[in-house]
């Protein structure tokens, strides 16, 4: 993340740009507070106090605590959810779904994600941002294995990738966000198996035809 931003030295205010130090302190403080005290325990005042930053500095660069958390999440997301490229659909899907489940249920950024997804239910404008900045990139990564499989001919070229994704990750998110059931590897593996079955059946059947 800091890679795509010009490096900024620590300073106490000047006319030429914001303090990177303050920015990082704010994002970390927000992450920490979320982990320690939950979403309700994240407040602008709390972030400011923990980050050693003035409230005004937060309001200058972010519009709300949700905005801070989105930025904090985006910083972490890409690192965790890039699916592997192994040349085999089943294997890639198994790995990716296992990782996704682990990310969502166990990791700190996963907790941030759940909190943001929760807040999105309360605030349509925020939901829009959440979908654009958090879900969009993630879903783009999710598509990759399927697109590569289509290119390789493992899946038919007319495959509805979006529908496929909904079938593959939908039950996963459902467990994480709705039922709260655990998401063991058996579960994600079974989703992959169920998803791939028709294609295997077809292929097995076709030679006979």
Partner DNA sequence: GCCTAATCGAGACGGTACGTCCCGTCTTCGG
Partner DNA sequence: CCGAAGACGGGACGTACCGTCTCGATTAGGC
Which residues here bind a second copy, judged by CB under 8 A? Answer: 38-40, 114-115, 117-124, 127, 131, 135, 139, 163, 166-167, 169-175, 177-180, 187, 190-191, 194, 197-198, 201
In whole angstroms, give the CA distance from residue 114 to residue 104: 7
User: Residue 142 belongs to what H/E stretch?
Assistant: helix 136-152
Among 32, 39, 64, 88, binds DNA (CB under 7 A): 64
Among 60, 131, 181, 203, binds DNA (CB under 7 A): 60
- Among 4, 12, 46, 40, smallest CA distance to 28 is for 46
Q: Which is nearer to a second copy, 79 or 201 (CB)?
A: 201
Among 36, 38, 45, 151, binds DNA (CB under 7 A): 45
| Residue 131 binds DNA (CB under 7 A) | no
Give CA 198 to chain center in angstroms. Answer: 29
Return the C-alpha torsion angle 68, 70, 75, 77, nearest 10: 150
First to last CA, the chain: 54
Q: Which is nearer to a second copy, 92 or 142 (CB)?
A: 142
**Cβ neighbours, 10 Å, residue 138:** 20
In whole angstroms, give the CA distance from residue 89 to residue 49: 48
Q: How far is the CB of 91 from DNA (least distance, A)?
A: 45
Q: Which stretch binds DNA (CB under 7 A): 17-25, 99-107, 120-128, 153-161?
A: 17-25
**Site of interaction with DNA (CB under 7 A):** 9, 11-19, 22-23, 25, 41, 43-46, 51-57, 59-61, 64-65
């Amino acid at each position: 993340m800091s890679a795509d931003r010009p490096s900024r030295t620590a300073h106490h205010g000047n006319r030429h740009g914001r303090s990177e130090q303050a920015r990082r302190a704010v994002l970390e403080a927000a992450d920490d507070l979320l982990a320690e005290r939950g979403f309700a325990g994240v407040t602008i005042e709390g972030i400011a106090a923990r980050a050693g930053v003035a409230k005004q500095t937060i309001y200058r660069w972010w519009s709300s605590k949700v905005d801070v958390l989105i930025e904090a999440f985006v910083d972490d997301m890409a690192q965790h959810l890039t699916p592997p490229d192994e040349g085999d659909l089943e294997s890639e899907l198994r790995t990716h779904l296992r990782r996704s489940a682990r990310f969502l249920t166990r990791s700190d950024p996963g907790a941030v994600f759940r909190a943001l997804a929760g807040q999105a239910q309360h605030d349509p404008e925020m939901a829009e941002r959440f979908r654009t900045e958090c879900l969009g990139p993630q879903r783009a990564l999710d598509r990759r294995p399927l697109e590569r499989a289509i290119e390789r001919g493992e899946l038919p070229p007319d495959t509805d990738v979006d529908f496929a994704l909904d079938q593959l990750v939908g039950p996963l998110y459902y467990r994480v966000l709705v039922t709260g059931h655990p998401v063991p590897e058996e579960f994600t593996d079974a989703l992959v198996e169920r998803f791939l079955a028709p294609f295997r059946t077809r292929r097995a059947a076709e030679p006979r035809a």
